[in-house]
Structure 1
Protein backbone atom coordinates (compact mmCIF):
# COMPACT_ATOMS: atom_id res chain seq x y z
CA UNK A 1 0.00 0.00 0.00
CA UNK A 2 1.28 3.44 -0.88
CA UNK A 3 -0.22 6.52 0.73
CA UNK A 4 0.74 9.74 2.46
CA UNK A 5 -0.93 8.29 5.55
CA UNK A 6 1.34 5.27 5.91
CA UNK A 7 2.90 6.56 9.13
CA UNK A 8 -0.53 7.30 10.57
CA UNK A 9 -1.76 3.83 9.67
CA UNK A 10 1.29 2.32 11.34
CA UNK A 11 0.55 4.35 14.46
CA UNK A 12 -3.09 3.24 14.41
CA UNK A 13 -1.95 -0.39 14.36
CA UNK A 14 0.37 0.28 17.31
CA UNK A 15 -2.56 1.80 19.17
CA UNK A 16 -4.59 -1.29 18.33
CA UNK A 17 -1.80 -3.49 19.70
CA UNK A 18 -1.91 -1.65 23.02
CA UNK A 19 -5.69 -1.86 23.15
CA UNK A 20 -5.65 -5.58 22.39
CA UNK A 21 -3.21 -6.28 25.20
CA UNK A 22 -5.41 -4.48 27.72
CA UNK A 23 -8.69 -5.78 26.34
CA UNK A 24 -7.59 -9.40 26.24
CA UNK A 25 -6.16 -9.22 29.77
CA UNK A 26 -9.47 -7.98 31.21
CA UNK A 27 -11.79 -10.06 29.00
CA UNK A 28 -13.73 -12.62 31.07
CA UNK A 29 -11.82 -11.61 34.19
CA UNK A 30 -13.61 -12.21 37.48
CA UNK A 31 -12.83 -8.72 38.79
CA UNK A 32 -13.93 -6.73 35.72
CA UNK A 33 -15.63 -3.57 36.96
CA UNK A 34 -18.76 -2.48 35.08
CA UNK A 35 -20.87 0.62 35.66
CA UNK A 36 -23.73 2.40 33.91
CA UNK A 37 -23.26 5.79 32.26
CA UNK A 38 -25.91 8.54 32.32
CA UNK A 39 -27.18 7.41 28.90
CA UNK A 40 -27.78 3.95 30.43
CA UNK A 41 -25.04 2.26 28.40
CA UNK A 42 -22.46 0.11 30.11
CA UNK A 43 -18.80 0.93 30.57
CA UNK A 44 -16.08 -1.34 31.96
CA UNK A 45 -12.70 -0.52 33.46
CA UNK A 46 -11.22 -1.96 30.25
CA UNK A 47 -13.00 0.73 28.19
CA UNK A 48 -11.61 3.56 30.26
CA UNK A 49 -8.11 2.10 30.58
CA UNK A 50 -7.80 1.54 26.84
CA UNK A 51 -8.88 5.06 26.00
CA UNK A 52 -6.54 6.55 28.60
CA UNK A 53 -3.57 4.61 27.21
CA UNK A 54 -4.37 5.50 23.58
CA UNK A 55 -4.78 9.18 24.45
CA UNK A 56 -1.46 9.14 26.26
CA UNK A 57 0.30 7.58 23.27
CA UNK A 58 -1.26 10.08 20.88
CA UNK A 59 -0.28 13.01 23.11
CA UNK A 60 3.35 11.98 22.60
CA UNK A 61 3.24 10.76 18.99
CA UNK A 62 0.85 13.39 17.58
CA UNK A 63 0.76 16.21 20.13
CA UNK A 64 -0.97 18.71 17.82
CA UNK A 65 -3.75 16.33 16.72
CA UNK A 66 -7.14 16.33 18.38
CA UNK A 67 -8.68 13.29 20.03
CA UNK A 68 -12.36 12.44 20.36
CA UNK A 69 -13.24 9.35 22.37
CA UNK A 70 -16.39 7.73 23.67
CA UNK A 71 -15.36 7.80 27.31
CA UNK A 72 -13.48 11.10 27.72
CA UNK A 73 -14.91 13.40 25.08
CA UNK A 74 -13.27 15.88 22.74
CA UNK A 75 -9.80 17.45 22.78
CA UNK A 76 -9.84 19.65 19.64
CA UNK A 77 -6.09 19.92 19.00
CA UNK A 78 -4.39 22.46 16.74
CA UNK A 79 -3.50 20.58 13.55
CA UNK A 80 -6.89 20.22 11.86
CA UNK A 81 -6.58 16.46 12.28
CA UNK A 82 -8.48 14.39 14.82
CA UNK A 83 -8.30 10.80 16.08
CA UNK A 84 -11.66 9.22 16.91
CA UNK A 85 -11.60 6.29 19.33
CA UNK A 86 -14.10 3.75 20.56
CA UNK A 87 -12.04 1.77 23.09
CA UNK A 88 -14.43 -1.19 23.11
CA UNK A 89 -17.23 -1.36 20.57
CA UNK A 90 -19.87 -3.88 21.70
CA UNK A 91 -19.19 -3.41 25.42
CA UNK A 92 -22.27 -5.48 26.25
CA UNK A 93 -20.71 -8.40 24.40
CA UNK A 94 -17.44 -7.78 26.22
CA UNK A 95 -18.94 -7.81 29.72
CA UNK A 96 -20.97 -10.96 28.97
CA UNK A 97 -17.95 -12.84 27.64
CA UNK A 98 -19.00 -12.78 23.96
CA UNK A 99 -15.82 -12.51 21.85
CA UNK A 100 -17.33 -10.17 19.23
CA UNK A 101 -15.91 -6.82 20.39
CA UNK A 102 -13.34 -4.46 18.94
CA UNK A 103 -11.36 -1.28 19.34
CA UNK A 104 -12.18 1.27 16.64
CA UNK A 105 -9.58 3.88 15.64
CA UNK A 106 -9.85 6.50 12.90
CA UNK A 107 -7.96 9.59 11.82
CA UNK A 108 -9.96 12.46 10.35
CA UNK A 109 -8.47 15.24 8.25
CA UNK A 110 -10.58 18.21 7.21
CA UNK A 111 -13.61 16.39 8.59
CA UNK A 112 -13.18 13.18 6.59
CA UNK A 113 -11.79 9.80 7.70
CA UNK A 114 -8.45 9.05 6.05
CA UNK A 115 -7.20 6.13 8.19
CA UNK A 116 -9.25 3.48 9.94
CA UNK A 117 -8.43 0.37 11.95
CA UNK A 118 -10.82 -2.10 13.57
CA UNK A 119 -9.13 -4.55 15.91
CA UNK A 120 -11.06 -7.57 17.23
CA UNK A 121 -8.42 -9.39 19.29
CA UNK A 122 -10.71 -12.11 20.65
CA UNK A 123 -11.46 -13.02 17.01
CA UNK A 124 -7.77 -12.67 16.13
CA UNK A 125 -8.66 -10.36 13.23
CA UNK A 126 -8.29 -6.78 12.05
CA UNK A 127 -9.68 -4.66 9.25
CA UNK A 128 -8.09 -1.43 8.05
CA UNK A 129 -8.07 1.16 5.27
CA UNK A 130 -6.39 4.33 4.07
CA UNK A 131 -8.02 6.92 1.86
CA UNK A 132 -7.42 5.93 -1.75
CA UNK A 133 -5.48 2.75 -0.90
CA UNK A 134 -8.19 0.12 -0.51
CA UNK A 135 -9.38 -1.93 2.46
CA UNK A 136 -7.56 -4.86 4.02
CA UNK A 137 -8.10 -7.60 6.59
CA UNK A 138 -5.98 -10.14 8.40
CA UNK A 139 -4.40 -11.03 11.71
CA UNK A 140 -2.11 -8.00 11.54
CA UNK A 141 -0.85 -5.37 9.12
CA UNK A 142 1.89 -7.59 7.72
CA UNK A 143 -0.47 -10.44 6.88
CA UNK A 144 -3.33 -8.47 5.39
CA UNK A 145 -5.22 -9.24 2.20
CA UNK A 146 -7.21 -6.75 0.19
CA UNK A 147 -10.97 -7.08 0.58
CA UNK A 148 -13.96 -5.99 -1.48
CA UNK A 149 -17.71 -5.93 -1.25
CA UNK A 150 -20.00 -8.40 -3.02
CA UNK A 151 -21.55 -8.00 -6.46
CA UNK A 152 -25.06 -9.05 -5.40
CA UNK A 153 -27.47 -6.85 -7.32
CA UNK A 154 -30.95 -8.08 -6.30
CA UNK A 155 -32.58 -7.71 -2.91
CA UNK A 156 -33.97 -11.23 -3.24
CA UNK A 157 -30.37 -12.53 -3.29
CA UNK A 158 -29.04 -10.25 -0.54
CA UNK A 159 -27.96 -10.89 3.03
CA UNK A 160 -28.73 -8.22 5.67
CA UNK A 161 -27.07 -7.74 9.05
CA UNK A 162 -28.26 -5.44 11.82
CA UNK A 163 -27.83 -4.86 15.56
CA UNK A 164 -31.36 -4.62 17.00
CA UNK A 165 -34.75 -4.66 15.37
CA UNK A 166 -36.44 -2.98 18.36
CA UNK A 167 -34.30 0.16 18.04
CA UNK A 168 -35.94 0.93 14.70
CA UNK A 169 -38.96 2.26 16.61
CA UNK A 170 -36.78 5.23 17.60
CA UNK A 171 -36.86 6.51 14.02
CA UNK A 172 -40.37 5.19 13.29
CA UNK A 173 -38.98 2.78 10.70
CA UNK A 174 -39.44 -0.62 12.36
CA UNK A 175 -42.19 -1.63 9.94
CA UNK A 176 -40.07 -0.56 6.97
CA UNK A 177 -37.07 -2.51 8.26
CA UNK A 178 -39.16 -5.62 8.84
CA UNK A 179 -40.48 -5.25 5.30
CA UNK A 180 -36.92 -5.17 3.95
CA UNK A 181 -35.99 -8.26 5.95
CA UNK A 182 -38.89 -10.13 4.37
CA UNK A 183 -37.65 -9.19 0.89
CA UNK A 184 -34.09 -10.41 1.20
CA UNK A 185 -32.56 -13.86 0.99
CA UNK A 186 -31.16 -13.94 4.51
CA UNK A 187 -31.14 -11.79 7.65
CA UNK A 188 -28.87 -12.10 10.67
CA UNK A 189 -28.15 -9.84 13.64
CA UNK A 190 -24.35 -9.97 13.68
CA UNK A 191 -24.38 -6.46 15.09
CA UNK A 192 -22.04 -3.59 15.92
CA UNK A 193 -18.70 -3.27 14.06
CA UNK A 194 -18.84 -6.86 12.83
CA UNK A 195 -21.72 -6.28 10.42
CA UNK A 196 -19.78 -3.60 8.53
CA UNK A 197 -16.58 -5.64 8.42
CA UNK A 198 -18.47 -8.62 7.01
CA UNK A 199 -19.97 -6.27 4.41
CA UNK A 200 -16.53 -5.01 3.42
CA UNK A 201 -15.38 -8.61 2.95
CA UNK A 202 -18.36 -9.46 0.75
CA UNK A 203 -19.96 -11.81 3.31
CA UNK A 204 -23.12 -9.72 3.70
CA UNK A 205 -24.58 -7.11 1.37
CA UNK A 206 -26.58 -4.66 3.50
CA UNK A 207 -26.11 -3.20 6.99
CA UNK A 208 -28.36 -0.62 8.64
CA UNK A 209 -28.64 0.95 12.10
CA UNK A 210 -31.10 3.58 13.37
CA UNK A 211 -29.07 4.98 16.27
CA UNK A 212 -25.25 5.27 16.29
CA UNK A 213 -22.55 7.72 17.34
CA UNK A 214 -19.54 8.91 15.36
CA UNK A 215 -17.15 6.71 17.35
CA UNK A 216 -19.27 3.66 16.46
CA UNK A 217 -18.70 4.24 12.75
CA UNK A 218 -15.55 6.34 12.29
CA UNK A 219 -13.25 3.68 10.76
CA UNK A 220 -16.08 1.54 9.39
CA UNK A 221 -17.31 4.09 6.85
CA UNK A 222 -13.83 4.34 5.35
CA UNK A 223 -13.30 0.57 5.32
CA UNK A 224 -16.64 -0.02 3.58
CA UNK A 225 -16.01 2.68 0.98
CA UNK A 226 -12.43 1.61 0.28
CA UNK A 227 -13.75 -1.94 -0.21
CA UNK A 228 -16.02 -0.58 -2.94
CA UNK A 229 -19.21 -0.10 -0.93
CA UNK A 230 -21.46 2.87 -0.15
CA UNK A 231 -21.96 4.37 3.30
CA UNK A 232 -24.59 6.99 4.20
CA UNK A 233 -27.10 7.82 6.89
CA UNK A 234 -30.80 7.03 6.50
CA UNK A 235 -31.29 10.32 4.66
CA UNK A 236 -28.70 9.33 2.08
CA UNK A 237 -26.01 11.72 3.29
CA UNK A 238 -22.48 10.31 3.06
CA UNK A 239 -20.19 9.95 6.06
CA UNK A 240 -20.22 8.39 9.53
CA UNK A 241 -21.58 11.36 11.51
CA UNK A 242 -25.29 11.35 10.64
CA UNK A 243 -26.50 9.46 13.74
CA UNK A 244 -27.89 6.62 11.61
CA UNK A 245 -26.23 4.32 9.10
CA UNK A 246 -26.88 2.45 5.87
CA UNK A 247 -24.01 0.55 4.28
CA UNK A 248 -24.28 -1.61 1.19
CA UNK A 249 -22.21 -3.04 -1.62
CA UNK A 250 -23.26 0.02 -3.63
CA UNK A 251 -25.44 -1.87 -6.09
CA UNK A 252 -28.20 -2.20 -3.50
CA UNK A 253 -27.97 1.21 -1.88
CA UNK A 254 -30.80 3.05 -3.61
CA UNK A 255 -33.27 0.15 -3.31
CA UNK A 256 -32.47 -0.07 0.41
CA UNK A 257 -32.90 3.67 0.95
CA UNK A 258 -36.19 3.52 -0.98
CA UNK A 259 -37.45 1.04 1.60
CA UNK A 260 -36.03 2.17 4.93
CA UNK A 261 -34.65 5.65 4.26
CA UNK A 262 -35.91 8.87 5.80
CA UNK A 263 -36.77 11.07 2.85
Structure 2
Protein backbone atom coordinates (compact mmCIF):
# COMPACT_ATOMS: atom_id res chain seq x y z
CA UNK A 1 0.00 0.00 0.00
CA UNK A 2 1.48 3.35 -0.99
CA UNK A 3 1.95 6.23 1.47
CA UNK A 4 -0.85 8.33 0.00
CA UNK A 5 -3.27 5.43 0.39
CA UNK A 6 -2.09 4.86 3.97
CA UNK A 7 -2.91 8.51 4.72
CA UNK A 8 -6.33 8.17 3.11
CA UNK A 9 -7.15 5.03 5.08
CA UNK A 10 -6.11 6.67 8.37
CA UNK A 11 -8.10 9.79 7.52
CA UNK A 12 -11.39 8.02 6.81
CA UNK A 13 -10.98 5.82 9.88
CA UNK A 14 -10.35 8.89 12.05
CA UNK A 15 -13.40 10.60 10.52
CA UNK A 16 -15.60 7.64 11.40
CA UNK A 17 -15.26 8.40 15.13
CA UNK A 18 -17.11 11.74 15.16
CA UNK A 19 -19.51 10.47 12.51
CA UNK A 20 -20.57 7.44 14.57
CA UNK A 21 -20.67 9.51 17.76
CA UNK A 22 -23.36 11.69 16.20
CA UNK A 23 -25.08 8.89 14.27
CA UNK A 24 -26.07 7.28 17.54
CA UNK A 25 -27.08 10.58 19.15
CA UNK A 26 -28.92 13.80 18.53
CA UNK A 27 -27.73 16.76 16.50
CA UNK A 28 -29.10 19.76 14.68
CA UNK A 29 -29.43 19.86 10.92
CA UNK A 30 -28.77 23.03 8.94
CA UNK A 31 -29.70 23.59 5.31
CA UNK A 32 -26.93 24.96 3.08
CA UNK A 33 -27.43 27.47 0.27
CA UNK A 34 -27.71 24.59 -2.22
CA UNK A 35 -30.62 23.21 -0.14
CA UNK A 36 -28.68 20.16 1.08
CA UNK A 37 -28.37 19.29 4.77
CA UNK A 38 -25.21 19.65 6.84
CA UNK A 39 -24.54 18.56 10.42
CA UNK A 40 -21.84 19.00 13.02
CA UNK A 41 -20.78 15.45 12.11
CA UNK A 42 -20.06 16.55 8.51
CA UNK A 43 -17.95 19.47 9.71
CA UNK A 44 -16.04 17.59 12.42
CA UNK A 45 -15.32 14.69 10.08
CA UNK A 46 -13.93 17.00 7.40
CA UNK A 47 -11.76 18.79 9.97
CA UNK A 48 -10.34 15.44 11.13
CA UNK A 49 -9.60 14.40 7.55
CA UNK A 50 -7.88 17.70 6.81
CA UNK A 51 -5.75 17.34 9.96
CA UNK A 52 -4.56 13.82 9.01
CA UNK A 53 -3.73 14.92 5.46
CA UNK A 54 -1.91 18.08 6.62
CA UNK A 55 0.22 16.06 9.07
CA UNK A 56 1.50 13.80 6.28
CA UNK A 57 1.31 16.11 3.25
CA UNK A 58 1.41 19.79 4.28
CA UNK A 59 1.98 20.97 0.70
CA UNK A 60 -1.04 19.16 -0.79
CA UNK A 61 -4.26 20.93 -1.71
CA UNK A 62 -7.59 19.94 -0.20
CA UNK A 63 -11.05 20.56 -1.62
CA UNK A 64 -13.79 19.63 0.83
CA UNK A 65 -17.55 19.80 0.64
CA UNK A 66 -17.92 21.71 3.90
CA UNK A 67 -14.88 24.02 4.00
CA UNK A 68 -13.99 24.51 0.34
CA UNK A 69 -10.51 24.64 -1.16
CA UNK A 70 -7.06 25.25 0.23
CA UNK A 71 -3.78 25.14 -1.75
CA UNK A 72 -5.73 24.24 -4.87
CA UNK A 73 -2.73 24.99 -7.11
CA UNK A 74 -0.73 22.06 -5.71
CA UNK A 75 0.01 19.13 -8.05
CA UNK A 76 -1.77 16.96 -5.47
CA UNK A 77 -5.40 17.71 -4.61
CA UNK A 78 -7.44 15.73 -2.09
CA UNK A 79 -11.23 15.66 -2.63
CA UNK A 80 -13.31 15.23 0.54
CA UNK A 81 -16.97 14.43 1.09
CA UNK A 82 -17.13 13.74 4.83
CA UNK A 83 -20.63 12.23 4.73
CA UNK A 84 -21.91 11.21 1.32
CA UNK A 85 -25.56 10.57 2.06
CA UNK A 86 -26.19 13.18 4.74
CA UNK A 87 -29.95 12.99 4.10
CA UNK A 88 -29.91 9.31 5.06
CA UNK A 89 -27.53 9.98 7.95
CA UNK A 90 -29.90 12.49 9.54
CA UNK A 91 -32.75 9.98 9.26
CA UNK A 92 -30.71 7.25 10.94
CA UNK A 93 -30.14 5.16 7.81
CA UNK A 94 -26.76 3.44 7.71
CA UNK A 95 -26.31 3.89 3.96
CA UNK A 96 -23.82 6.77 4.08
CA UNK A 97 -20.08 6.91 3.65
CA UNK A 98 -17.01 9.09 3.74
CA UNK A 99 -15.50 9.66 0.30
CA UNK A 100 -11.85 10.64 -0.08
CA UNK A 101 -9.93 10.80 -3.34
CA UNK A 102 -6.54 12.06 -4.46
CA UNK A 103 -5.76 13.68 -7.79
CA UNK A 104 -2.26 14.21 -9.17
CA UNK A 105 -2.03 16.87 -11.89
CA UNK A 106 -5.76 16.52 -12.56
CA UNK A 107 -5.84 12.71 -12.73
CA UNK A 108 -7.48 10.56 -10.07
CA UNK A 109 -4.90 8.22 -8.53
CA UNK A 110 -6.78 6.78 -5.55
CA UNK A 111 -10.11 6.72 -3.81
CA UNK A 112 -11.41 5.42 -0.50
CA UNK A 113 -15.02 4.94 0.58
CA UNK A 114 -15.68 4.16 4.24
CA UNK A 115 -19.19 3.20 5.36
CA UNK A 116 -18.75 2.96 9.15
CA UNK A 117 -22.34 1.99 9.98
CA UNK A 118 -22.06 -0.89 7.50
CA UNK A 119 -18.54 -1.90 8.53
CA UNK A 120 -17.23 -1.56 4.98
CA UNK A 121 -14.20 0.17 3.52
CA UNK A 122 -13.54 0.06 -0.21
CA UNK A 123 -10.50 1.50 -1.92
CA UNK A 124 -8.78 1.56 -5.26
CA UNK A 125 -5.46 2.97 -6.34
CA UNK A 126 -3.76 3.28 -9.68
CA UNK A 127 -1.81 0.08 -10.29
CA UNK A 128 -3.08 -1.60 -7.09
CA UNK A 129 -6.58 -2.75 -8.03
CA UNK A 130 -9.78 -2.40 -6.04
CA UNK A 131 -10.44 -3.82 -2.58
CA UNK A 132 -13.32 -4.21 -0.13
CA UNK A 133 -12.47 -4.93 3.52
CA UNK A 134 -9.10 -6.34 2.48
CA UNK A 135 -10.49 -8.63 -0.23
CA UNK A 136 -9.72 -7.98 -3.88
CA UNK A 137 -12.81 -7.15 -5.94
CA UNK A 138 -13.22 -7.88 -9.61
CA UNK A 139 -15.59 -6.96 -12.38
CA UNK A 140 -18.36 -9.50 -12.97
CA UNK A 141 -18.02 -11.91 -15.90
CA UNK A 142 -21.61 -11.14 -16.93
CA UNK A 143 -21.52 -9.62 -20.40
CA UNK A 144 -25.24 -9.26 -21.22
CA UNK A 145 -27.63 -6.79 -19.62
CA UNK A 146 -30.35 -9.47 -19.70
CA UNK A 147 -28.29 -11.47 -17.18
CA UNK A 148 -27.23 -8.51 -15.05
CA UNK A 149 -28.42 -7.11 -11.75
CA UNK A 150 -28.39 -3.31 -11.73
CA UNK A 151 -28.38 -1.18 -8.61
CA UNK A 152 -29.27 2.49 -8.72
CA UNK A 153 -29.29 5.39 -6.35
CA UNK A 154 -30.66 8.91 -6.28
CA UNK A 155 -33.17 8.40 -9.07
CA UNK A 156 -34.64 11.86 -8.46
CA UNK A 157 -31.55 13.57 -9.87
CA UNK A 158 -31.41 11.17 -12.82
CA UNK A 159 -35.12 11.69 -13.52
CA UNK A 160 -34.48 15.41 -13.86
CA UNK A 161 -31.71 14.84 -16.41
CA UNK A 162 -31.62 13.96 -20.09
CA UNK A 163 -30.45 10.44 -19.13
CA UNK A 164 -33.81 9.28 -17.74
CA UNK A 165 -35.05 7.61 -20.95
CA UNK A 166 -31.70 5.90 -21.52
CA UNK A 167 -31.67 4.56 -17.97
CA UNK A 168 -35.23 3.28 -18.37
CA UNK A 169 -34.18 1.45 -21.52
CA UNK A 170 -31.27 -0.23 -19.72
CA UNK A 171 -33.29 -1.13 -16.61
CA UNK A 172 -36.11 -2.66 -18.66
CA UNK A 173 -33.62 -5.09 -20.21
CA UNK A 174 -31.88 -6.10 -16.95
CA UNK A 175 -32.51 -9.39 -15.18
CA UNK A 176 -32.99 -7.63 -11.85
CA UNK A 177 -32.94 -4.09 -10.46
CA UNK A 178 -32.54 -2.63 -6.99
CA UNK A 179 -32.38 0.94 -5.81
CA UNK A 180 -31.61 3.07 -2.79
CA UNK A 181 -31.48 6.79 -2.30
What TM-score bracket applies, with the shorter chain setting the length? over 0.9
**Contact 2:63 2:72 survives alignment (8 Å):** no
Instruction: Give the structure-2-normalised TM-score.
Output: 0.93
Map of 1:117 onto structure 2 = 112
Q: 2:14 aligns with which of 15, 18, 32?
A: 18
Say yes or no: does 1:127 pair with 2:122. Answer: yes
**CA distance in structure 1 between the aligned counterparts of 2:159 and 2:176, rounded to whole angstroms:** 22
Paired residues in the alignment total 181
Q: Cα deviations across residues 149-194 of structure 1 (Å, max 9, x unaligned)?
A: 1011111111111113332332233233222211111111135xxx
Map of 1:72 onto structure 2 = 67
**CA distance in structure 2 between the aligned counterparts of 1:98 and 1:50, rounded to whole angstroms:** 18
| Structure 2 segments unaligned to the other structure (5+ residues) | none
Say yes or no: does 1:155 pair with 2:150. Answer: no
**Contact 1:64 1:77 survives alignment (8 Å):** no
**CA distance in structure 1 between the aligned counterparts of 2:164 and 2:102, rounded to whole angstroms:** 33
Instruction: Give the structure-1-normalised TM-score.
Output: 0.65
Across the aligned residues of Structure 1 and Structure 2, the Cα RMSD in angstroms comes to 1.5
Q: 2:131 aligns with which of 136, 139, 148?
A: 136
**CA distance in structure 2 between the aligned counterparts of 1:173 and 1:78, rounded to whole angstroms:** 34
SS in 2 for 1:122: coil
**Contact 2:8 2:53 survives alignment (8 Å):** no
Map of 1:40 onto structure 2 = 35
Q: Cα deviations across residues 14-64 of structure 1 (Å, max 9, x unaligned)?
A: 10111111111110312x121111111111110011111211232232111
Q: Cα deviations across residues 82-140 of structure 1 (Å, max 9, x unaligned)?
A: 111100011111110111111111111011111211111111110011101111111xx
Say yes or no: does 1:55 pair with 2:45. Answer: no
**CA distance in structure 1 between the aligned counterparts of 2:156 and 2:168, rounded to whole angstroms:** 10
**CA distance in structure 1 between the aligned counterparts of 2:175 and 2:73, rounded to whole angstroms:** 49
**CA distance in structure 2 between the aligned counterparts of 1:24 and 1:166, rounded to whole angstroms:** 27
| Structure 1 segments unaligned to the other structure (5+ residues) | 139-143, 192-263
Which has the larger strand fraction?
A: 2
**1:72–1:176 CA distance, 2 compared to 1 (3 A):** same
SS in 2 for 1:98: coil
**CA distance in structure 1 between the aligned counterparts of 2:172 and 2:106, rounded to whole angstroms:** 37
**Contact 1:64 1:78 survives alignment (8 Å):** no
**CA distance in structure 2 between the aligned counterparts of 1:50 and 1:137, rounded to whole angstroms:** 22
